Amino acid sequence: MSDSQTASASDLPRAWPFEEARKLADHVATRSSTGADERPALLETGYGPSGLPHIGTFGEVARTSWVRQAYTALTGRPSRLLAFSDDMDALRKVPDNVPQREMLQKYIGQPLSRVPDPFGTHESFAAHNNARLCAFLDSFGFEYEFASSTQYYTSGRFDAALQRVLEVHDQILAVILPTLGPDRRATYSPVLPLHPRTGEVMQVKMDAIDAAAGTVRWTDPATGEVFETPITGGHAKMQWKADWAMRWYALGVDYEMSGKDLIDSVRLSGRICKILGGTPPAGLTYELFLDEQGQKISKSKGNGLSVEEWLRYAPPESLGQFMFNQPQRAKRLYFDVIPKTADDYLTHADKARALQAENPAGNDLRANPAWFIHKGSVPEDAGSPVPFGMLLNLASVANADTPEVLWGFIRRYDSAVSPQTHPMLAELVKHAIAYYADFVRPAKTFRAPTDKERAALVDLAETLRGFEGEAADASILQNLVFEIGKRHGFEPLRSWFGCLYEVLLGQKEGPRFGGFVALYGVPETIALIDAALLRDTQV
């Protein structure tokens, strides 16, 4: 494919990052059609350093990285990813999860890069959170360039673009003012000067704009004093929607995705970018995360799931899988989604390894989420011979509180498997123990079987006794379980499996039961059935 060509829809792997990559390639081709602009494609993500990085930060950087990976595969052209920190924004409120909150209260209205670090480890609150951001992104192996709003403003990187803002100031106002309420409209300015004495980011009306001099004149509402402030050199910054547009224009951003809640802001910033003389970037509007009740996740409400919490219960690849799945569809982000997402990842990793061996450059491989999660090369040890859900059920019936308990069953099931030969499985075992202890064990509720179910369970136990002493084959055992369900007239057949999960495991859902029997052991499963039937008679 030449630099000026992009693939047709039929040529693309069936994965959303490639659809986005084509949009990016079209955008780059348009701005470089004259041959005068051959710089690498610039993809950007934004970060507000008033708080620590969160799961949404991971999602946006991960998804943008996958678009970049697809763009490289599609075009062979270079690209850059800029992780931009808005650290010149003013501190609006003191976060609840930081020390020295009373001290921070004194700095409300100050740029975050001038607010002291309440943790005492960096020169400013912004520097502390920026360092946490970089460490966070580095821990996942993202490739990016970090950018500080304060550094870009104070170094003069934005000076030419800011000068352009003053030249078209009235046109920008004409776009923004109709979107504001009466009170806000009366004092709004796209330019926010920094107070020369207090350092506060001033949200005041401009008395005069001098484009030739590159200054704005304004009045301090507290003292009535009039100031004339240069907009260059970090003496002023832009109001955020105008700031976003100015940044796109100044840096030539080609791609930036954003959440559904910013649709109107993207549209408005795009109009301002055009007024400045730039072209708004291509981008994806992704849906928001919801909690278990279907409510929008909010950091202030604390109704979300943190990255740290997710990684306690499943490997980082599973979090990547969650972020990869249908970004334009709202998804509930709570603890119950973790086991299925982990197993989805394992399924994709197994398929990807097979496809990688057959055709490393094939579209089927490049449509696989594991190809993106592993940056184009899926390692041989990426999968697991035992699904995560199966490990959880094994932990449940064994009441396991250490990995060694589960490994005893796993080694008996397959003596060739060990933590050394299957590191992903070893990681999953540890996560399964933690998830079982925190979520499965407290929620276990056994029910008594009906007469019909009791007869089927007795039949299952008796049939399984014929397999004692033999090597257990999961598929044969699964067929056996099916046949017993049919023999006892369960309709639909899933009601029979519901009986197995609720009566034997104390939970609503469970694994493929034949695979579970093979892993747990035939004698142990018979004992499990006998104990459940005995428990019923003692109630």
Q: Which residues are annotated as a binding site for ATP?
A: 299
Q: Which residue's structure tokens are 């940044």?
A: 247
CA angle 460/462/468 to nearest 5° reads 100
CA angle 403/405/408 to nearest 5° reads 110
- From residue 239, give the alpha-carbon distance in Å to each of 236, 247, 435: 10, 12, 44
Name 493's Cβ contacts closer than 8 Å, sequence gap at least 6.
Answer: 482, 485, 486
Q: What is the CA radius of gyration of the chain?
A: 29
Q: Quick check: 499 and 453 in contact, CB under 8 A?
A: yes
Count of residues for the chain? Answer: 539
Q: Spell out where 49-171 has E strands.
A: 79-85, 145-148
Please state at what angle helix 316-324 crosses helix 337-358, rounded to 10 degrees.
90
Q: Quick check: 525 and 515 in contact, CB under 8 A?
A: no
Query: What is the C-alpha end-to-end distance of the chain, expressed in Å?
Result: 72
Name 502's Cβ contacts closer than 8 Å, sequence gap at least 6.
Answer: 446, 447, 508
Question: What's the rounded Cα separation, in Å, for the pair 319 and 338?
Answer: 8
Token digits of residue 177: 């003012």
Binding site as annotated, residues = 299
Q: CA 265: distance to chain centroid? A: 21
Q: Quick check: 312 and 284 in contact, CB under 8 A?
A: no
Q: Which residue's structure tokens are 């970049």?
A: 68
Burial class (CB in 10 A: 0-12, 13-18, 19+), 37: exposed
Question: What's the rounded Cα separation, in Å, for the pair 411 and 413?
Answer: 5
Q: Spell out where 19-67 has E strands.
A: 41-47
DSSP assignment of 130-143, as one string? HHHHHHHHHHTT--
